[in-house]
Copies of this chain bind each other. A is one copy, B any other.
Amino acid sequence: MELNRIISAIKEKQSEIKSVFFVGCGASKAELYPAKYFLEGNAKHLRTSLYTANEFNYATPVSVDDTSIVITCSLGGATPETVEATTLAKEKGAHVIAVTHVEDSAITTDAEYVVYHGFHESYAAKMEKMTKVLGLATEILNQFEGYQHYEKMLDGFDKIYGLIENAVSSVVPQAKAFADAYKDDEVIYVMSSGATHEVAYSFSICLLMEMQWINSGTFHDGEFFHGPFEIVDKDVPFLLLMNDGKTRGMDARALEFLQRFDAKTTVVDAKDFGLGSAISSEVVDYFNPMLISGVIRVYAEQLAIVRNHPLTKRRYMWKLEY
């Protein structure tokens, strides 16, 4: 397996890896989050951080050196900050892995290793980026520290793409209902917990703000009760992404509150798509983000249709220098 070989190659050169940095921007940053969350929760020795690329470039952590692995990620491989971070990490002596969809793109130049992922082919292909990065994190943990549920993770990787394709095949009716109900809203809040936290973030800042020009806010649903919940009132629009895993209790608590005060609530629940019956409970948490991202991609597409605002429509991006 490709990811296994990359990490083995790094280990041959440097037996002591101390830090793992994930670096990207926007959706690509958010898609690194499940891997960072996995390492942060399961590693006993490895350090791990997630940076938006220019934060990494402007205030580079002192620990970026030959004892670190830096994983940079850009869909098109040309995001200037992420390309710069890749070069900077190389200069500092780090072991650099670039993750991108586009062969020989700028991000690959200074990367020692490149992982390519699909995108256009299917919903599952769109989730390869997030999934392969989680695969890298799994290999890093297993090879440098050992990981007792390694085989269960591999089993999850075998099953997740099929689960995504199966889920998206049936969700158009719910997605249409969401689109009809939310199409004229002034603002939409999105929240989740666990490994899915930045899926909510990404849906908010990319799918809603960037691709639909809809006002949006996002926060961890464990944080909901410590500030944001005061905005709740009848018909205030929320999208809640519910995990099948350890943090489900937090999601459920937020849902109960939203329903109690009659907020306009749409739930996308991994449990509805059989995630927990297919994947071992010890590792199921880490596969929620891929499944839920696949499903809510359909929600965004239906919103784009009913609002007559294609997901590719932009005012600024791709149109001008900034």
Contact = CB atoms under 8 A, between A and B. Distances in A.
A123 to B, nearest CB: 20
Given A209-B217, A215-B215, A217-B209, A58 B227 contact: no
Given A59-B247, A194-B59, A230 B204 contact: no
Interface stretch (A41-49, A96-104, A114-122, A150-158): A41-49
A225 B322 contact: yes
Interface centre among A48, A79, A229, A249, by most chain B C-beta atoms within 10 angstroms, is A229
A54 B250 contact: yes
Contacts of A219: 205
Contact of A44 (B48, B62, B246): B62
Contact of A41 (B43, B61, B210, B247): B61
B79 A226 contact: yes
Nearest to A45: B18
A13 interface: no
Interface string A227-242: 1111111000000000
B227 A55 contact: no
13 contacts: A25-B225, A26-B223, A26-B227, A41-B59, A42-B61, A54-B222, A54-B249, A55-B247, A79-B226, A186-B215, A205-B228, A229-B322, A257-B322
